[in-house]
Structure 1
Amino acid sequence: MPGTAAAVPPPPPNPSDTDIANGNAQVSESVSQVGDLINQVASANQQLSRLDDEVAIKREGVNKALVDLQIAREAVDAAGGVVAESQQALRDAGTQIERAQQRFTDYAVASYTKGRNVASLSSFFGATGPDDVLDRAQVMRLLSASQKAVLENLQRARTEQANRDSAAREAKQRADAAASEAESKKSEAEQAITVARTALQEQASRKAQIEADRNSAQARLDAARDSVAGLQGQRDAYITWDNQRQAAEAAAAAAAAAEAARRAAEDQSARERAAELANGQRPHTQIDEDSDSGGGGTAAAPAQVKPKPKPMAPAVTGGAAIETVIDRGMSQLGLPYAWGGGNENGPTLGIRDGGVADSFGDFNKVGFDCSGLMIYAFAGVGISLPHYTGYQYTAGTQVPSSEMRRGDMIFYGPNASQHVALYLGNGQMLEAPQSGSIVKVSPVRWDGMTAYAVRMVS
């Protein structure tokens, strides 16, 4: 029987070169937009990090202002006490002088009215002789001089006390001025936090908008890529179909040619038989048909790859005093961050900052901020620290940060004004990071770290 060509399915869509070129142009444009927006997000993240650092510095500035304000208020109280004591002493001196003057006045009146002054003859009645008269006159002069000296000494004492009172009042005025200045700086620091927080929130909103634009552009890029992939897939499918079509047409042509040759051969054979019959001949004709067969191979299975073993974490060690500090700090893991919270006895209620701490309700939370956690940890070995990172930075021995050991304090920001944490070793640190977080163990952050760590315990 004659051969039959395999049936070819109908052709798939065949997008034009222009359609594919336009799709690739859209992909290129979307890639450029996404790349630009990714760069803007990275820039916004850097700006957010910088603003967050500025806020941290200003929050610690408020801590410093609170410490300085407390010191100034104590100085005012002390100066007020000195002024009160000085004024009381001045009043007492005046009272003594008034009494002495009254006694002197009483003496003078009595001498005048009763004749008991030095010049009165009654003072010499009963004298036994000239020597006795002279002795009595000397006694009277001494009594008068003594009363005058007492009065002068009292007047001198009152003058000195008045000078001391003036100095005390001047000292209180200076203390009052210092307290007023400290209160003003506290207000300025709190206002700076509000300004910094507003800038941070605006930057966060801008970043969110950029991220939304980036996500939208990424969606358009994905859609464009899918479209191009679809067009290219249609083109590939059409090429595959066209190859199949050409192969089918070639096979059909070959089959038709073979069929034509077979028929031609049959026709030739028929003509030859007719000629032989016509000549009375009947030759025997044998026709052999050969067939070919083929074989196939089997592909080898891919080799299996064994996973690599995970590394083990090394152990940590330390001295008894250092371990006491670390154990005391680690005992507070999980407690909430509360700005302004924490003292030597443990967590305390946070305070208001007029910004992010208030938005997280830190003033209603009992917990620690970063410097408060250090106060509590080191109190376990009898070390008292101020509630301000800048003062804690100068409280112990400063060592290069590259040489810090377990139990050292790590600081961040200019002059350690931003943050403090406790180094645990092996690249880990204990910290109270920020509002909305908790006391936790974190990887050491080298970015923004001060040149020195502080060692309180050897």
Structure 2
Amino acid sequence: MRNNGEVGTRRPALVALGLLISVAIVLTAAQAGAVPPPPPNPSDGQLSDAGAQVDAGVAEVGGLINQVASAEQQLQQLDEAVALKREAVNKALVDLQDARDASERAAASVTDSERELAEATTKVGQARSNFDVFAARAYTKPATPTMITFLAAASPDTVLDRARVLAMVSKQQQQVLDGLRRAQITRGNLNSLARQAKSEADAAAAAAEAKKADAEQAVAAAKVEADRQAGARDTLVKQRQGAQTKLDAARQNVAGLVAQRDAYLAWDQRRRAEEAAIRAAAQAAAARAAADQAARDRAAKAAEGKRPHTDLRDEAPQGVHPQAKPKRDPAPTMPAIGGSDAVETVVDRAMSQLGVQYSWGGGDENGPTLGIHDGGVADSYGDYNKVGFDCSGLMIYAFAGIGVSLPHYSGYQYNAGTRVPVAERVRGDMLFWGPNGSEHVALYLGNGQMVEAPQSGEVVKVSAVRNGGIMPYAVRIIT
């Protein structure tokens, strides 16, 4: 347990320490709530690796593009070859059809010539038979009706005339027969030619059939090769698409990392600007607080006769008459000053402690003090061995400058002044969290910001007001 005399002698040193710490603020911690949380900041190595991935992707995609282009060129050549071979099939089909038509015409010609030859042969035979019959009758039956007019006379002249007539008829019949025989020979020659044409047409048809089969086989082979090449091309296209997808992802990754870096730099610039503003405000507040002897006097008076927060002894504190009852978190007093000057005195005293470490149970009217054991989280941070403030201790120090003595418990501080709707809060009001303000308290600065001693492991800092769990009322001490 601390000695009251030691505490008393350490007060000026602790106050001076608090003012010095406020000038040398732990800016990163102090600004955690003043700006949004930092966005991701990719390292130079990450950006370099991402760029290398893009370069590798570009090379891979470029190579695949060239391979696909080559494959497509080969495929086009194969398509042209297939088209050429298909047209060769068409030519073979036309030639085959022409050969078949010629064969059919030759077959028809053979048939016609055979018919005509048969008719000529029949006519020759019929003419020869008719002549033979006529001649026989003329010599053996001279009195036949057909010759009766010429052969009835019995004179030599008549007989001679008869011979002449027979010779003339015979000659005519022979001429007819000769003509028929020549026609028969002609038909025979034509038949022979028709048969030869038929044979040639059949040979041409067979050759055309073979050419058709060869052309179809060539088309099939070309089609197989074209299909193989198309499959290879499709594989390359898929590989190219996959590589392009990876390249796009790599580019997006680079763009995302660059965007993150830009966002981080913008955030860092804002952070630095706000840090500078907070540093200036803290230094100004520290200077004003250090120069405000009246506020220190009021704070010292507010602390008179009060037993330290952690002092549980029965005897009276040093400097207090044994018969006098020590003050222990008395009811809040009225401020010794009011108006905007009082508000700025309170704010200056709180802001002058920016960067002072959190210490559970620490802080009183005169500045930061050693913390106390809590048997848990605060002990794990060594708060009992740190000089600093907890949330309510910071409020005690801030308001002591205007002569107000507050109890060292946020729940009691919630009842220390006039409650106003939290939406109507103004600079210098206290904000509370938890049932009846039992969890946390902070001093509102305006513009959505507050100064607080947050929790073990942190420092007094400026934060954005957290609306989650905030009490519906703020407490106003200065009217």
Quickly name the TM-score band, shorter chain normalised. 0.3 to 0.5
- After TM superposition, the score normalised by the length of structure 1 is 0.47
